[in-house]
Chain A
């Protein structure tokens, strides 16, 4: 009753998201101190920004009138190379990541194999595509091979990790039933494990194909092949209408892939 008496006469207030007041105020204060510090140390050339607004307007207008024709040869060449790199890298990456995923699942692999596979995944996930691409271009020379290897490498980290997590959370009973019938190890994987993780594998593969295409668009910036080089040239020459055309093509392909992956995932799951 005393609680109710204490509350009477006081208007109700929405409870805060962070309950402890001290922590809440510390976070808010720290946030503002950081903002001020960041604002003071960032150098912005406002007159340059203001000048740029005109060009920004031109670029936005270019989207209403993209120029597909003037550089159509370069665009087609770059796009085909991007798509080819994407497909080849996805296939190879998925093929390599399946055994690594099996090795990185604790319920299938023994501890030494598990640790090796997990460290491969960690290395692949920690390095960004563009940095890997720089190193591989330095080693293998310019061209789509470096891009292909970069994307394959990045695919391994992504796909193996998520697939291994799916394998670890699979239904043990089915796999044990296959084992009890006297199956060999390969048969056990093929009939006990694979059917359980197949929908997820297909879904992830398509999703990764989508990511690989998006990434392939920037690899050209460091000389690893694909549409990026054409795009970079278009920006350097202030040919905004060509750049807008390339960006529109990228957006349309990504949207198509996303739609396709939605349809396929809905069918297999």
Chain B
């Protein structure tokens, strides 16, 4: 136990001298890195605009309130599109994620050395690129519109769904699988009767969870031209129609809250 002698009296301390020196050095390096980063940001900033920010914020606020409520009549179709992008995107991604998950799980993959790393690579690369970037890419390839949004959401969700699903597959109860094998079942029958029933609740939970996230993401996909309510947001921003912007933001907020509520309810019913 680290102690310190003060006038012949022993006082308890949390760390030894060497430990606290190490901590001090780590903190110093951390603070130095942060100071450097801050200085870089600061030099790239026009501080005049920043000092002016409260006035601008106040100005935008007065322009944006009250929201232009009658504009909501034009938002019906974009909201439906947004819902479609999220739902169809989730369905496509689940169709693609299930085989990837089975190939990536240690206990079901056909080859640990060859196929599992490829499946893991698919999971990491689809997960690490944001859906907006996928949308940008797909718009360049297949043109703007809802379809590009659906595919962008689908690709982006593969990694997330497959990762959670393969972890669920790796955690199954192996004894049930052995019981099915002992009856002389084929490889596919083992899948259908031994593994699938065990991961079905996890699968349903993942699907609803990802659908909730996708509703969020699909509301902003229109900013790059991939359909949905984001298109209206971006065109309103371009013409500085702040009352419309504030209404759209309220609608997006409502959509996010509702989808979160639905997903929490459904997951509560499953688990």
Q: Which residues of A contact B (CB under 8 A)?
A: 14, 17, 34, 38, 41-45, 48-49, 52-53, 55-56, 59, 80-81, 84-85, 87-88, 91, 126-128, 130-131, 134-135, 138-141, 143-145, 148, 214-215, 217-218, 221-222, 225, 228, 231-232, 235-236, 238, 243, 247, 250-251, 254-255, 258
Contact = CB atoms under 8 A, between A and B. Distances in A.
Interface stretch (B16-24, B99-107, B133-141): B133-141
Interface in B120-159: 124-125, 127-130, 132-133, 136-137, 139-143, 145-147, 150
Given A130-B132, A221-B132, A221-B223, A143 B45 contact: yes
A145 B142 CA distance: 34
A238 B56 contact: no
Contacts of A139: 53, 56-57, 60
Nearest to B35: A88
Contacts of A80: 40
A251 B121 CA distance: 10
B72 interface: no
A145 B38 CA distance: 9
Contacts of A218: 130, 132-133
Interface in B21-51: 30, 33-34, 37-38, 40-42, 44-46, 49-50
Describe A's contact surface by its main secondary structure. Answer: helix
Contacts of B125: 251
Contact of B46 (A143, A225, A258): A143
Given A38-B88, A126-B256, A231-B136, A247 B129 contact: yes
A220 to B, nearest CB: 10
Given A14-B192, A127-B253, A143-B44, 8 more contacts: A38-B87, A44-B147, A49-B142, A56-B141, A84-B40, A126-B253, A144-B45, A254-B128
Contact of A88 (B34, B60, B219, B257): B34
B206 interface: no
B224 interface: yes
Interface of B: 30, 33-34, 37-38, 40-42, 44-46, 49-50, 53, 56-57, 60, 80-81, 84, 87-88, 124-125, 127-130, 132-133, 136-137, 139-143, 145-147, 150, 192-193, 197, 200-201, 204, 216-217, 219-220, 223-224, 237, 249, 252-253, 256-257
A134 B136 CA distance: 17
Given A59-B137, A131-B220, A148-B41, A41 B84 contact: yes
A221 B84 CA distance: 24
A232 B146 CA distance: 19
A144 B41 contact: yes
Contacts of A231: 133, 136
Given A130-B220, A134-B237, A42 B132 contact: no
A48 B81 CA distance: 20
Contacts of A130: 132, 220, 223
A217 B127 CA distance: 13
A232 B204 contact: no
A55 B140 contact: yes
B58 to A, nearest CB: 10
Nearest to A63: B125
B249 A131 contact: yes
B211 to A, nearest CB: 12
Contact of B41 (A88, A128, A131, A215): A88
Contact of B141 (A55, A217, A225): A55
Contacts of A247: 129, 133
Nearest to B217: A128
Given A128-B219, A251-B125, A141 B146 contact: no
A136 B143 CA distance: 30
B128 A52 contact: no
A28 to B, nearest CB: 14
A251 B137 contact: no
11 contacts: A14-B192, A14-B197, A17-B201, A42-B150, A53-B142, A59-B140, A84-B37, A130-B220, A131-B252, A139-B53, A145-B45
